[in-house]
Amino acid sequence: MNNLKNLRGTTDLLPEQLKKWQNVENIIKDQLSRANVKEIRTPIIEMTELFIRSIGEGTDVVNKEMYTFLDRGERSCTLRPEGTASVARALINNGNLKGTFNKLWYMGPMFRYERPQAGRQRQFHQLGVEFIGYESPNSDIKIITLAWDILQKLGISELNLEINSLGDRTDRENYKIAFLKWLKDNFDDLDQDSKARINKNPLRILDTKNPDTQRLLENAPKLNQFLSEKSLERYSFIKNQLEFLKIPFVENLKLVRGLDYYSHTAFEITSSALGSQATVCGGGRYDDLIDQMGGDKTPAIGFAIGLERLILIAGTSLEKGRDPDIYIVNKGQLAESLAIALSRILSNFDLITELDLSGSSFSRQFKKANKCNAKSVVVIGDEEAKKNEFSIKLFNNSIENNNELKISIEDNAKLEEWILKNLNLNISAKK
Ligand code: HAM
């Protein structure tokens, strides 16, 4: 029988890799809580219609990349390809929108049926941040700087911020008329995919990956020529503020994003340290999404960072986890029982404890303690166990070190005193 394998484009994250993931996640969560952004968790599986109505028919995500299936009740379900639509739905469903400001984040797996390569998977993870109810252009600045600062905090260099304005709904409607006329005049030269998009969603032709169509589009009317005075003013404010805050950016008039819900500010952050999948963060404003989904008209802006790509470029210093504070070496039946009792006592302290249950020789267990960089060892043999005692000492010190102490299993105070004195930890024993 063939070995069972994970599906293409999905990966197992093993404990060694997860140290870096956890360090990265902790730094991110710390930054977000400092900005008073609250976590939200939504289901991984949603009604397919949610994504069709938000991301848009005619987008690559909806047309080609969704994991969609009928459940046993014949309902069309989809594994979420992104998080913004679900967050909007959750706020509408829970009546959390009227006149409120919501600053939310989420982290978790997303699913897109794409061709896997380095930094591109079918199951990948995103950190998403959504500011919902916020209209002021300064909220755009807050969102962009939050994304930028998270990446900086993780020590990621070679970052490039690109921005564009997609105007409001009316600007895009005006543009669509001119663009459609141009598309019809150039119909014969378009690729098949683009031809199919003309009636469904012509603006998505701007995302085409076809090099001939991309070249042809150089001569098409540009969206920025159709922005109203008001939209242009908003956009200028954002560019000025970014300059004021010394956040380097380039304007990219071709940046339209691959999802339909955006208006006004759209931005992406790329890193030259990544290969072809260089976009580590993408986001923008989506003022029309919530009323389009049946909620009250609510302005909003957000971004998502691809965690796999982030992990690829985050510094190697983040790969290290915390080493065990105490390694419990023990041999013999009585000793093992006492070791288990002690490990339960130690779990009340803010310590990492490794309990050796191998039954191998003392010298082997010491070797293992050394290998995992344990700061200290507890040693229990059957003789000590008979007296309900164990000895504890700092590791890596010479045998003659004077920090070794015999302690009775009942003497929690003495144990705590030793830990405080020797392990240099900010420990808190639960009383
Ligand atoms: P997005 O640009 O589709 O935006 O995805 C955001 C990020 O997710 C990308 O920049 C990339 O780093 C990562 N990503 C996307 N697809 C893959 C993949 N197949 N494998 C690995 N990483 C991937 C959104 O999803 C929007 N919901 C962002 C947003 C939030 N806009 C407003 N609020």
User: Which atom in ligand 1 lies closest to the alpha carbon of residue 130?
Assistant: 33
Same fold, 15-168+228-318 and 326-422: no
User: Residue 227: what residue type?
Assistant: L
Is pLDDT at 430 greater than 50 in this prediction? Answer: no
- Tell me the CA–centroid distance for residue 258 and ligand 1, in Å: 9
Minimum CA distance residue for ligand 1 atom 18: 120
Q: What is the pLDDT of residue 1?
A: 65
Query: What residue spans define the domains of the chain?
Result: 15-168+228-318, 326-422
What is the share, in percent, of the chain residues with pLDDT greater than 90?
82
Q: What is the pLDDT of residues 215-241, one digit of tens each?
A: 999 999 999 999 999 999 999 999 999
pLDDT band, residue 27 (cuts 50/70/90) = very high
Minimum CA distance residue for ligand 1 atom 23: 306
Q: What is the pLDDT of residue 401?
A: 55
The mean-pLDDT minimum among 15-29, 33-47, 313-327 falls in: 313-327
User: Which atom in ligand 1 lies closest to the alpha carbon of residue 286?
Assistant: 32
- Tell me the CA–centroid distance for residue 311 and ligand 1, in Å: 15
- Tell me the CA–centroid distance for residue 282 and ligand 1, in Å: 6
- Tell me the CA–centroid distance for residue 13 and ligand 1, in Å: 20
Q: 216 vs 185, 191, 202, 207, 300, CA distance in Å? A: 12, 10, 15, 13, 34
SS3 380: strand
For residue 129, what are the β-bridge partners? 105, 303
pLDDT band, residue 402 (cuts 50/70/90) = low
Residue with tokens 């730094």: 27
- Tell me the CA–centroid distance for residue 296 and ligand 1, in Å: 26
**In 94-200, alpha helices (H):** 137-153, 169-185, 192-200
Q: What is the pLDDT of residue 421?
A: 87
CATH of domain 326-422: 3.40.50.800
- Tell me the CA–centroid distance for residue 165 and ligand 1, in Å: 19
What is the share, in percent, of the chain residues with pLDDT greater than 70?
97
- Tell me the CA–centroid distance for residue 280 and ligand 1, in Å: 8
As a whole number of angstroms, the distance between CA 159 and CA 144 comes to 13
- Tell me the CA–centroid distance for residue 149 and ligand 1, in Å: 18
Q: What is the pLDDT of residues 102-139, one digit of tens each?
A: 999 999 999 999 999 999 999 999 999 999 999 999 99
pTM (global) more than 0.85: yes
Residue 233: which H helix or E strand, with range? helix 229-244
As a whole number of angstroms, the distance between CA 87 and CA 106 comes to 9
Residue with tokens 């507890």: 378
Contact of 59 with 256, CB cutoff 8 Å: no
Q: What is the pLDDT of residue 97?
A: 80
User: Which atom in ligand 1 lies closest to the alpha carbon of residue 121?
Assistant: 20
As a whole number of angstroms, the distance between CA 189 and CA 71 comes to 42
Residues 6+ apart with CB under 8 A from 196: none
CATH architecture group of domain 15-168+228-318:
2-Layer Sandwich (3.30)
User: Which atom in ligand 1 lies closest to the alpha carbon of residue 259?
Assistant: 3
Mapping DSSP onto H, E and C, the string for 237-259 reads HHHHHHHHCCCCCEECCCCCCCC
Q: What is the pLDDT of residue 199?
A: 86
Minimum CA distance residue for ligand 1 atom 22: 306
Number of neighbours of residue 318 by Cβ within 10 angstroms:
18
Q: What is the pLDDT of residues 239-298, one digit of tens each?
A: 999 999 999 999 998 898 989 999 999 999 999 988 888 999 999 999 999 999 999 999
With a Cβ cut-off of 6 Å, ligand 1 is lined by: 82-84, 112, 114, 119-121, 124, 126, 128, 130, 258-259, 279-284, 286, 302-304, 306, 308-309
Q: What is the pLDDT of residue 276?
A: 82
What average pLDDT does the chain have? 93
